[in-house]
Amino acid sequence: MTATEGEILTLDDVAVYLKAGKQTVYRLVQRGEIPAFKLGGTWRFRRSDLDLWIADRINKNKPEAE
């Protein structure tokens, strides 16, 4: 695992990384739609989990080949 993959991000970091508002990220966390964990009462995110989550969402939106 590279340093970037193991990197732990804050909610603010994730909002910048996803180019989304902090409230949007927080809503996704509250709904359990984005991989996250709590540390000392604040949400944290592993960059590698986010990358997998993004790839999964992209694959779900691709039309299947016929």
The 10s digit of each residue's pLDDT in 23-57 is 999 999 999 999 999 999 999 999 999 999 999 99
pLDDT of residue 61: 77
Q: Hey, how many other C-beta atoms are within 10 angstroms of the C-beta on 29? A: 18
State residue 22 phi and psi, 5-degree precision: -60, -40
19 lies in some domain: yes
Q: Which residues contact 66 (CB under 8 A, 6 or more apart)?
A: none
Which has the higher per-residue pLDDT, 62 or 65? 62
Q: Assess if residue 30 is contained within a domain.
A: yes
Average pLDDT over residues 1-29: 90
Give the domain range for residue 28. 8-61
Assess whether pLDDT exceeds 80 at residue 63: no
> Which CATH number does the domain housing residue 41 bear?
1.10.1660
